[in-house]
Amino acid sequence: MKYLFFPCVTGVRCQSKSRYVTVAVDERGAKRLKSGKLKNKVIFWNIPLLRGICYFFCGAIALLKGCYDCLNLSGSKLEGKVTEKVGQKLNVRGEGIALTFVLLFSLALSLILFGFLPAKLSFLFIGMSMNFFLRNFIIAVTKIVIFFLILLIFRYLPAMQDLYKFNGATNQVALREDRMKKLDDKDYYCPLNILNVMVFALILSIFVITLVGISIAPYWNFLINLGIFLVCIAVSFEICYIFQKSYATRMVCLLTNFFVCVKPSITHDEVARVALAEIKSTNSEEDMKQDKSVLRSTLIAEMETELQKADRYDKADIDWIIATVLGCSREEAKLVRSFDNKTYREIKKATTARAQGKPLSAIFGFAEFYGLRFMVNKKVLAPRPETEILVEEVIKEIGDKKNLRVLDVGTGSGAIAVAIAKNSKAKVTALDISKSALEIAKINAEKNNVKVEFVLSNLFDSLKRRARFDIIVSNPPYIRTLDIQGLDDEVKNYDPKIALDGGEDGLNFYRLIAERAPNYLTKGGQLFLEIGMGQFKNVQNILESAGFSDITFKKDYSNIVRVVRAVYGKRRRNIK
């Protein structure tokens, strides 16, 4: 196992091969963190049975240390004046004294509840005359019943709720990390967690040790029972390890998991994700000594939670928001480990707007397209990633040719025209019916340092009759009128309707362009169009009826036919 998780009273501890990270929630709700080198490592992962014993004892130590660290991080000190004084006299850290007290108290309580008390109760009710194994069986069952009653009481104690919720959260994160598909709302039940393995091992060892009932001499009794206990630990771990592998077998362990797992809240899940993210990104002690307010892992966990709740999660959006607020590239933004409070608030504000359905282009007033930045507003359609395929095909067709003339019909923000002009030696002209759109397109051309001729025109109306182009490209409106109201809010509320409405069947502009484009194409000139899902056959028929031939297509990243190319007057090679 690459990462191990341990739930704590106010947070989570995560361990890798050589390091640990503990993340706790303090009294103000902020996430606090502690990291260091790992001394007690779980080894023998490739040796069955031995790995279980190692996991049990190293896990118990990690659990106690994690709880200790979490209490200190959250502002609740475990050690008091007594432990401090004892620690000073013995030259031992207060942490060790406090943990020793906890272990001794737990041991004494266990001896009373699972040793002395069940035996006395059983002898009181059934006496000494009953068959040896039957009597021991009844005593063992009595001990297990007491054990389950104690677990049941603990499960509903308010003081234990956070511990069990953090356990559920670590289970969720562990299953996601192992790439196991989330099947239902019980994915926080996971056999291979330290609390479940402990409960499983204790139940099995209590039953077996009591049933065998070794009674030779105190020294031998202790050694034999210890051996049985270790075997029970090893067997319990292997059972949990096997049951971890599928949903059906995971549910078999529900009997024990129920007592140590509670469905986590959003905060519990965030803390577990932060711990995992930090253990993955921590390379040295210096990484953890940054004095800024909010860790990258904490911020990303909060952003993911907010976007997932709104059903608008996209990892690319998270990277884009952070990079934009920081004013750097996405690659540079990924190197930033923590953020000051001002930057944190700006990123969270943008995330909230995105969760409410506002597109990133509207949040920041610009969009990235084909490696360039374009100013956008409600007057123009924000360029989409799939439109980059249209631009790419046109640029590939131009190649190194000089002085080819390209016409962009319905340019909007100028994204297509500017991207082509920036990445080729073609002479580009762009048309649009909207004066406001052309003003923005001109600004975008200037900012990207390219020369484009912009013409205010309803399709081809304002062009000179003798104007001829080698390539005409267009991303026309192709949404059916009746479908516009069913579009996502970020499209219908922020993009201009004129840039979306393609008429009753969504094909109005394809008919107009196919009918009039031949008047402005050179012999063998090409027409490149972006189309909507399922429109290829209809557009193909329209183009063929208008005299176009050699009609080919290109699919987008979702395997949808998105770009159509057609030749007028002369056959050309296909797009591959």
Here the CATH number for the domain that contains residue 391 is 3.40.50.150
Whether 303 and 437 share a structural domain? no
Q: What is the pLDDT of residue 445?
A: 96
- Reference 516, options 478, 542, 483; nearest CA is 542
Q: What is the pLDDT of residue 357?
A: 85
Q: Where are the alpha helices (DSSP H) in 282-414?
A: 296-309, 315-326, 330-333, 341-355, 360-364, 387-398
Amino acid identity for residue 8 in this structure: C
Q: What is the pLDDT of residue 544?
A: 92
What contacts 419, CB < 8 A, 6 or more positions away?
369, 370, 372, 388, 391, 395
Q: Is 174 exposed, middle or buried (CB count within 10 Å of its CB: 0-12, 13-18, 19+)?
A: buried
Whether 242 and 276 share a structural domain? no
What contacts 219, CB < 8 A, 6 or more positions away?
none
Whether 332 and 425 share a structural domain? no
Please state, in angstroms and rounded to a whole number, the distance separating the CA atoms of residues 156 and 453.
73
Q: What is the pLDDT of residue 149?
A: 86
Q: What is the pLDDT of residue 130?
A: 60
**Predicted model pTM:** 0.63
Q: What is the pLDDT of residue 422?
A: 95
Whether 166 and 285 share a structural domain? no
Q: What is the pLDDT of residue 550?
A: 92
Whether 251 and 350 share a structural domain? no
- How does strand 469-474 pair with strand 521-530? parallel
Instruction: Give the residue numbers spanning the domain of 333.
Output: 268-364
Segments of the chain with pLDDT less than 50 = 79-95, 97, 99, 102, 111, 181-183, 283-291, 571-576
- The residues facing 369 across adjacent strands are 372
In a domain, 575, yes or no: no
Q: How many domains in the chain?
A: 3
Q: What is the side-by-side order of every strand in the sheet holding 427-432?
A: 452-456, 427-432, 405-409, 469-474, 521-530, 561-568, 548-555
Q: Are residues 11 and 73 in contact, defined by beta-carbon separation less than 8 angstroms?
A: yes
Whether 121 and 230 share a structural domain? yes
Q: What is the pLDDT of residue 105?
A: 53
Q: How many residues does the chain have?
A: 576
Please state, in angstroms and rounded to a whole number, the distance separating the CA atoms of residues 476 and 473.
9
Q: What is the pLDDT of residue 484?
A: 67
Q: What is the pLDDT of residue 100?
A: 53
The distance from CA 79 to its chain's CA centroid, rounded to whole angstroms, is: 37
Q: Is 28 left (phi over 0), alpha (psi -120 to 50) or beta?
A: alpha
Whether 317 and 437 share a structural domain? no
Please state, in angstroms and rounded to a whole number, the distance separating the CA atoms of residues 104 and 180.
39
Transcribe 260-285 into DSSP letters: T-----HHHHHHHHHHHHHHHH--SG
From start to end of 187-262, where are the E strands? none
Whether 303 and 249 share a structural domain? no
Q: What is the pLDDT of residue 35?
A: 84
Whether 412 and 543 share a structural domain? yes
In a domain, 574, yes or no: no
Q: Is 293 exposed, middle or buried (CB count within 10 Å of its CB: 0-12, 13-18, 19+)?
A: middle
- How many angstroms separate the most distant Cα atoms in the chain? 116
Whether 410 and 359 share a structural domain? no
Whether 440 and 562 share a structural domain? yes
Q: What is the pLDDT of residue 574?
A: 44
Q: Is 218 exposed, middle or buried (CB count within 10 Å of its CB: 0-12, 13-18, 19+)?
A: exposed
In a domain, 576, yes or no: no
Instruction: Output the six-digit token pair for 477.
Output: 């409106």
Q: Which of 333, 364, 395 is the last residue of a domain?
A: 364
The full 3-state SS of 132-155, as one line of letters, equals: HHHHHHHHHHHHHHHHHHHHHHHH
In a domain, 469, yes or no: yes
Q: Which of 343, 364, 385 is the last residue of a domain?
A: 364
pLDDT tens digit string along 309-341?
A: 888 888 888 888 998 898 887 778 887 888 888
Q: Which of 236, 256, 276 is the last residue of a domain?
A: 256
In a domain, 535, yes or no: yes
Q: Are residues 411 and 429 in contact, defined by beta-carbon separation less than 8 angstroms?
A: no
Amino acid identity for residue 88 in this structure: Q
Q: What is the Cα Rg of the chain in Å? A: 34
Whether 385 and 528 share a structural domain? yes
Please state, in angstroms and rounded to a whole number, the distance separating the CA atoms of residues 374 and 153.
61
Q: What is the pLDDT of residue 89?
A: 46
Please state, in angstroms and rounded to a whole number, the distance separating the CA atoms of residues 132 and 106.
30
- Reference 197, options 21, 60, 16; nearest CA is 60
